[in-house]
Structures are given as structure tokens and as C-alpha cells.
Chains A and B, each alone.
Chain A
Amino acid sequence: MSGPHQLRTLESIALIGIGGFAGSNLRYLVARVIPGLGGTLVVNIVGSFVLGFVLYEAIHAGVLAERTRVVVATGFLSSLTTYSTFGLQTALARGPVWMAANVLATYCLGFAGVLAGRALARRVDGRPGE
């Protein structure tokens, strides 16, 4: 393994760590402002939308640098969103109606967020939305 390669690996580790620090704190902040199921729903929708934009932008236009994508996608957004808290809140929800509603809302709005991010990425690229 060469020197520059190790430096790049170290740089990636630092960037992912910083992204994780910031993303988890923003999730914590949102959970304090909107306690319970709502806060988790909000971060998961917003994170899915921005990740959809960042990753489809990579596929279509590729303006963002690879390093930017690592820190934003793998570090920040994946830490901002969470599956474990969503799962725990679903398991502890008040009855089957709330459980089903939480799963449906999170899944539908999360997927819609990715598609909205994709549409925005295509607009940025100058192509018509599909």
C-alpha cells in the first residue's frame, strides 16, 4: 500500500467521522424539537430527499466531487437518518394502527423523498423530469 493511498483512506475516515458527528447531532436536535415518531419521520424524509439528489446528481451530471459525496452521503445523511429508532418506535407504538401508520408514512414519504431528489437532480442536469 502506497503513502498517498493511506492518506486518502485516513482522509475518508476523518470525513465520514465528521459527517457522522454532525448528522447525528442534527437528528438529536430535531428529536428534541419534535419528540416521538414525528421527529424520526422528518429526518428520514429529509435525508432520503437529499441523498436522492446527491446520488442521482452523481449518475446524471457528476458536478459534485467524489470527496463531497463521501462526507455528505456516507457520513452526514446516513447518520442523520436512522432505521433503528424507526424500528424501536414502531415496536413501542400505541397499538397496531399507530404501528402500521408509522411504517406506511415513513416508507411512502421516504421513497417519495428519493424520487423528489431524483427529479431535482434531473432539473439541475437540464434534462426534463420523467
Chain B
Amino acid sequence: MIALDPAQLVGTGGAIGALCRTYVSQRVDGETYPFGTLAVNVIGSFALGLVTFAGASEEIVLLLGTGACGSFTTFSSFSFETVRLVEQGESVAAATNAAANLLGSLVAIGVAWFAVRIVLG
């Protein structure tokens, strides 16, 4: 097998992840609450959990884990949107957003772990 350049794997996955994130957040996003970012962060955490716990090869981890899942999910948009909610006087929504992203991500990773255990035994 030809050894692929890690930068190509991470970058290709990253480009795919960024485009998928743009698509999903445009489809989901509400005017009043950043559901789009929450959706990509939960879905991407689940997918990264699957790739990690399934024991995929190093190249698959670089392409799908570091590249695609890493780029699909975002922290900068999350932190910006949370600060904006506080500025707009929506402190409860901001706190809910901070908690929902964290809990959603951790629960998704836990579900991925269970799913891999059930499938792989």
C-alpha cells in the first residue's frame, strides 16, 4: 500500500468536514438560537467516537477523525454565538447553549462507545 502524506489525509478530510458543516448549519440554523452549531458538534462527536473506538487504521483516523470530524465540529463558532447570546441579554439561552454542547458531545461519545462494543463485541 502506498503511504499517503498525513497532510493530504488531514487536509482532504478537513475540506470535506468544512463543507458538510456549512451545509448542515445552513439547513438547521434557527434565527434565535444556534441549533446548527449544536447539531454539527453532537453529530461530529458521535462520528469521532465511532472512528476512535472502532480501532481504525492510522490513515483512517487522520482522514475521518482528525480531518473530517475535527473540521465538521467547531469551537470558535460555538464560543462566538454563546458570547452573542449574552450580549443580546439572553443569558439563560447562553448558559443552556454552553451546557447543551458539552452534554450533547459527551453523550454522543458515550453512545458511540456502546455502539462499537455492541457491533464488535
Contact = CB atoms under 8 A, between A and B. Distances in A.
Interface residues of B, number: 46
A34 to B, nearest CB: 14
A25 interface: yes
Residue in A19, A82, A83 with the greatest tally of chain B CB atoms within 10 Å: A83
A20 B75 contact: no
Given A84-B45, A84-B105, A87-B102, A75 B82 contact: no
A129 B113 CA distance: 46
A88 B110 CA distance: 9
A88 B109 contact: yes
Nearest to A78: B74
Main secondary structure of the interface of B (DSSP, over half): helix
Contacts of B24: none
B74 A82 contact: yes
Interface in B40-94: 41, 44-45, 47-49, 52, 62, 66-67, 69-80, 82-83
B39 to A, nearest CB: 11
Contacts, number: 160
A82 B12 contact: no
A19 B18 contact: yes
Main secondary structure of the interface of A (DSSP, over half): helix
Interface string A67-110: 00000001101111111111110110000000000010011001
B22 A82 contact: no
Chain A interface residue number, banded: 35 or more
A83 B83 contact: no
Contact of A25 (B7, B45, B72, B102): B7
A84 B102 contact: no
A100 B59 CA distance: 31
Interface in A12-57: 13, 16-25, 27-28, 31, 44, 47-48, 50-52, 55
B34 interface: no
A84 B14 contact: no
5 contacts: A17-B16, A44-B75, A48-B75, A87-B48, A115-B83
